[in-house]
């Protein structure tokens, strides 16, 4: 599927193009200025997924910027997906950020509108929304393919991006969502990550329409999934997190479970959903999200039978063969975190060694 040249040659792009079922995961950007906090979270995720999303002020709450997280992730050789939202920056800032990200080695960009400021803990802030997500996609594609800025000014070296977008198949107007996806593909989307899926029949309906439009052959669709932590968390997500649709059956199933086993039940539901989603034609992978529960993400991916993933490799290497999961002891892991954070706190000149393949 998906004709056309390799866009950025990112690991995610290679995995998707090879036809293997891809797994991406979401990194919770820390409320911290310590690179260690990013690496602690990333370490758990990197072993179980093909690429790590760095969120851009998720839920309109302030965290470490997507750019900062991606810089740290790329420095350590992890595959990062830069999330770019339209809420906080105008077109000038966004284009500048895209250039900066490309210069740092970020190859995957996810373009989205972003939650409104009223969803977060600083609702007094000014909302920007200078571009919308589809315009942002086209701007990013324009920078890559035409090699110009929006003004028409030429870029000396255009960025190389594998472009992504988001879609919510579970929010109204349901019959328009597939057509909106088509619009995003026309604007330049090459992969799609969806909102949390808790309602597989609705997703199947959406995918049927997507296949009718032939979109599954033009774009890689990764379905968003995630374990619910508890009945209370499920209700909170349904009522307070914009765009999340959880059917009553799932809520009831969580409610019926004793409190101590609710987390386990949440993981079980998630694994079941992954297995059902895998069967749908046109689904190219899953995107696993779980706020502040990286261990649960790893467990869910493992139990859904999606391991081993490709081991983390130096950036220049091409992942070729499957089945070489990186086996690492906790000591090794701790050592690596220490090493990485030491590197991060060194001055810039010392980091040249990273470029030369010390890591």
Partner 1 sequence: MVARMKEARRMPGAEWLKNHPRWLERIYLWTKRFVVRAYPLMKRINPRFANWLMVRSEEALKGWAFNCQMCGQCILHSTGMTCPMNCPKNLRNGPCGGVRPNGHCEVIPDMPCVWVQAWERSRSMLIFADEIKVIQPPVNRTLQGASAWVTMIEGHDVQTPHGWAMAARQEVER
313 near partner 1 (CB under 8 A): no
Which of 266, 306, 267, 295 is closest to 24 using CA atoms? 306
235 binds partner 1 (CB under 8 A): no
Tallying the residues shown for the chain, one arrives at 359
Of 133 and 293, CB closest to partner 1: 133
User: Given candidates 20, 77, 158, 183, which one binds partner 1 under the rule CB under 8 A?
Assistant: 183
Choice from 67, 139, 234, 284 touching partner 1 (CB under 8 A): 139
Contact stretch for partner 1 (CB under 8 A) within 100-108, 170-178, 225-233, 283-291: 170-178
The half-sphere exposure of 325 on its side-chain side, counting CA atoms within 13 A, is 12
- Packed helices 177-187 and 133-145: angle between N→C axes, nearest 10 degrees: 20
**Binding residue (CB under 8 A) for partner 1 from 127, 208, 268, 303:** 127
| Closer residue to partner 1 in complex, CB, 112/290 | 112
53 is a contact residue toward partner 1 (CB under 8 A): no
Answer whether 162's CB lies under 8 Å from 8's CB.
Answer: yes
Single out the segment in contact with partner 1 by CB under 8 A; choices: 10-18, 122-130, 202-210, 347-355. 122-130
Q: Which of residues 57-96 bind partner 1 (CB under 8 A)?
A: 86-87, 91
Contact call for residue 149 and partner 1 (CB under 8 A): yes
Indicate which single residue of 176, 322, 342, 346 sits in contact with partner 1 (rule: CB under 8 A): 176
The CA distances from residue 257 to 137, 245, 260, in Å, are: 43, 20, 8
Contact between 192 and 220 (Cβ < 8 Å): yes
CB of 115 to partner 1, least distance (A): 6
Rounded-to-integer distance, Cα 353 and Cα 359, Å: 8
User: Binding partner 1 by CB under 8 A: which of 3, 124, 157, 172?
Assistant: 172
Using CA atoms, how far apart are residues 1 and 3, in angstroms rounded to an integer?
6
CA–CA gap between residue 190 and residue 81 (Å, rounded): 13
Specify the residue for token string 């990062």. Answer: 80
Query: Which of 51, 105, 45 lies closest to 220 in space, CA to CA?
Result: 51
Distances (CA, A) of 333 to 25, 69, 197, 339: 19, 19, 32, 10
Q: Which stretch binds partner 1 (CB under 8 A): 15-23, 101-109, 165-173, 340-348?
A: 165-173
Candidates 37, 47, 56, 115; binder of partner 1 (CB under 8 A) is 115
List the structure tokens of 352.
């040249």
Residues 10-29 that bind partner 1 (CB under 8 A): none
Cβ proximity of 173 and 156 under 8 Å: no
Query: Interface mask (CB under 8 A) for partner 1, residues 260-279, using x and -?
Result: --------------------
Contact assessment for residue 306 and residue 298, using Cβ atoms and an 8 Å cutoff: no
Binding-residue total with partner 1 (CB under 8 A): 48
Binding site for partner 1 (CB under 8 A): 86-87, 91, 112-113, 115-116, 118-119, 127, 129-135, 138-139, 141-143, 145-146, 148-153, 166-168, 171-173, 175-176, 179-180, 182-183, 186-187, 195, 242-243, 245
């Amino acid at each position: 599927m998906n004709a056309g040249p390799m866009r950025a040659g990112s690991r995610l792009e290679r995995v998707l193009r090879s036809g293997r079922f891809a797994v991406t995961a979401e990194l919770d950007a820390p409320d911290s200025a310590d690179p260690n906090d990013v690496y602690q979270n990333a370490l758990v995720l990197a072993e179980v997924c093909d690429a790590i999303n760095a969120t851009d002020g998720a839920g309109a709450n302030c965290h470490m910027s997507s750019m900062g997280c991606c810089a740290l992730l790329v420095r350590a050789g992890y595959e990062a997906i830069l999330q770019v939202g339209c809420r906080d920056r105008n077109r000038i800032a966004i284009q500048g950020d895209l250039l900066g990200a490309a210069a740092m080695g970020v190859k995957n960009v996810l373009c989205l509108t972003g939650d409104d400021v009223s969803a977060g803990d600083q609702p007094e802030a000014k909302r920007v929304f200078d571009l919308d997500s589809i315009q942002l996609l086209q701007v990013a594609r324009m920078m890559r393919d035409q090699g110009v800025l929006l003004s028409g000014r030429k870029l000396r070296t255009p960025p190389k991006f594998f472009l992504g977008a988001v879609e919510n198949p579970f929010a109204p107007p349901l019959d328009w969502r597939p057509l909106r996806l088509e619009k995003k593909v026309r604007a330049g989307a090459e992969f799609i990550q969806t909102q949390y899926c808790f309602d597989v029949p609705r997703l199947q309906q959406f995918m049927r329409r997507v296949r009718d439009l032939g979109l599954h052959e033009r774009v890689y669709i990764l379905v968003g999934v995630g374990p619910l932590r508890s009945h209370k968390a499920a209700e909170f997500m349904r009522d307070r997190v914009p765009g999340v649709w959880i059917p009553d059956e799932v809520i009831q199933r969580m409610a019926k479970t004793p409190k101590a086993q609710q987390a386990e039940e949440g993981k079980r539901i998630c694994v079941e959903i992954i297995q059902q989603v895998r069967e749908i034609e046109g689904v190219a992978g899953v995107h696993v999200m779980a706020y502040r529960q990286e261990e649960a993400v790893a467990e869910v991916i493992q139990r859904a039978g999606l391991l081993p993933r490709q081991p983390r490799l130096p950036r220049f290497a091409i992942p070729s063969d499957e089945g070489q999961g990186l086996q690492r002891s906790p000591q090794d892991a701790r050592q690596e975190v220490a090493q990485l954070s030491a590197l991060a706190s060194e001055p810039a000149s010392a980091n040249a060694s990273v470029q030369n393949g010390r890591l």
